[in-house]
Amino acid sequence: MTVLDTFNQFFDHCIGNWESERTYHYLSKSAIERSHTAFGVAPLNSEQKTKVLTDNSYTDARDLADCPGFHLVFHTVSEKGEVVDQALNLAFVPRSVENSDKHILEGDYLRDRAYEEDRPIVSHFRFDSRSRELLMTTPYTHIISVDSITLVNPHMRVRRILNYLRPPEGAPMDQLLLVGFGVEQKREA
């Protein structure tokens, strides 16, 4: 199985309804918060994928059949009772296979709405077919978010979120503001 086959299989397993329990550590406030999220993932058709690319003024796409795209809807309730509802469309545009054994796939990750900022955004992704980890790095205005999803099996994913203060160009990311961990389990339909 090629890295692209494993990448597409990863996303096939992601389609459906999920429940997530997360813990966030806000390092600047020395606070910990827990939340519960119910979310659904549905595939996008070619027209919807094209719109995500157009929203981002993205002209460097390959065949849309090679670009997984999804509609994501989620409802989060924090332990304090705060509620966040959001819906967005996203697409992954594979660019290159790295390493001599061809197990790493990289490319761009596009959304019509960003999580931290209400605007279209282009991020970078890196997928490791051996560990089935998808690593997404998003440069927002004030932070850089590094989000990891590891597919344990078709019904369980482990999530890790690291938000860094955005450093000056060329400087290392070394000021961690938030660390989040979560376990996501697929609900039966």
For residue 161, what is the enclosing H or E element? strand 156-165
pLDDT band at 114 (very low <50, low <70, confident <90, very high): confident
Q: How many domains does the chain have?
A: 1
Dist. CA 98–CA 54, nearest whole Å? 27
More confident residue, 114 or 146: 146
What confidence score (pLDDT) does residue 115 get? 76
What confidence score (pLDDT) does residue 99 get? 59
pLDDT band at 168 (very low <50, low <70, confident <90, very high): very high
67 by Cβ neighbours in 10 Å (0-12 / 13-18 / 19+) ranks as buried
Query: What pTM does this model have?
Result: 0.92
What confidence score (pLDDT) does residue 63 get? 76
What confidence score (pLDDT) does residue 102 get? 83
Mean pLDDT of 14-32: 96
State yes or no: pLDDT of 101 exceeds 70: no
For all residues of the chain together, what is the average pLDDT? 92
CA angle 88, 126, 75 (to 5 degrees): 25
Tokens of 4: 């692209």
Q: Which domain CATH number covers 182?
A: 2.40.128.20
What confidence score (pLDDT) does residue 97 get? 66
φ, ψ of residue 4 in degrees (nearest 5): -70, -40
* Three-state DSSP class for residue 155: coil
Comparing CA positions, the residue from 134, 137, 127 lying closest to residue 163 is 137
State yes or no: pLDDT of 100 exceeds 60: no
What confidence score (pLDDT) does residue 65 get? 80
Residue span of the structural domain in which 26 resides: 3-187
Comparing CA positions, the residue from 77, 76, 75, 73 lying closest to residue 90 is 73
Q: What percentage of the chain has pLDDT greater than the value 70?
A: 96
Query: In this predicted model, what pLDDT tens digit does every residue of 26-82 receive, in sequence order?
Result: 998 999 999 999 999 999 998 999 999 999 999 876 678 888 999 999 999 999 999
